Amino acid sequence: MGNSYIVDIFLSYSLLAWIAFSFINIKAQLADLNARITASLFAQAMYSLRFIIIPIAIFSVVIGLFLVYRFYAVLLFFNAWGVGGAGMILLLSLYILIANSLQVVLFCVRHSEYVIEKPIVNKNIKSLFVNNEPMHKVAR
């Protein structure tokens, strides 16, 4: 294809969007799971879901590494390949490997039967609601 670099650039931007989404999504899922599950129950859920998590994580990582490969093709097309390009490819590959696997683990554990629907209430944190009324209405 004569204009294959256009498709490669689109795939490279989709890789960038995927990385940005996974960074934000992992932080949100960790905060949500931290409020809903204990560490020991999380480990038990991961162990029991390992046969579901591993194939999904492998599939997700393969797709991510394909996008990294297409980004490599863009670097080659524009003659931007060098030590910096090699380092960027290596770092993107490691990030895809770790972040996508973690994202799949968090998603599968969050939607398992081990996680309660309502967050665990911490008595040390002041609630935003008093008797089902927002605090700013109660204070007046």
**In this structure, is residue 48 part of a structural domain?**
yes
Q: For 134, which DSSP code?
A: E
CA 65 vs CA 22, 98, 100: distances in Å = 15, 12, 10
Q: How many domains, in total, are found in the chain?
A: 1
**In this structure, is residue 23 part of a structural domain?**
yes
**In this structure, is residue 139 part of a structural domain?**
no
SS3 69: helix
pLDDT (tens, 9 = 90+) of the chain, 140 residues, equals 567 888 888 989 999 999 999 999 999 999 888 888 888 889 999 999 999 999 999 999 999 999 999 999 888 888 888 888 889 999 999 999 999 999 999 999 999 888 877 765 555 555 554 555 544 444 44
Total Cβ atoms within 10 A of residue 22? 19
Considering the entire predicted model, what is its pTM? 0.76
**In this structure, is residue 128 part of a structural domain?**
no
Summarize pLDDT for 116-136 with one digit per residue, the tens.
777 655 555 555 545 555 444
**In this structure, is residue 122 part of a structural domain?**
no
Quote the distance between the C-alpha of residue 57 and its chain's center.
Answer: 11
Instruction: Report the alpha-carbon distance of residue 96 to residue 18 in Å, rounded.
Output: 9
* Domain membership of residue 31 as a residue range: 4-116
**In this structure, is residue 96 part of a structural domain?**
yes
Bridge partners of 133? 130
**In this structure, is residue 126 part of a structural domain?**
no
Closest C-alpha to 98, from 15, 14, 23, 21: 23
**In this structure, is residue 24 part of a structural domain?**
yes
Instruction: Report the alpha-carbon distance of residue 118 to residue 94 in Å, rounded.
Output: 34
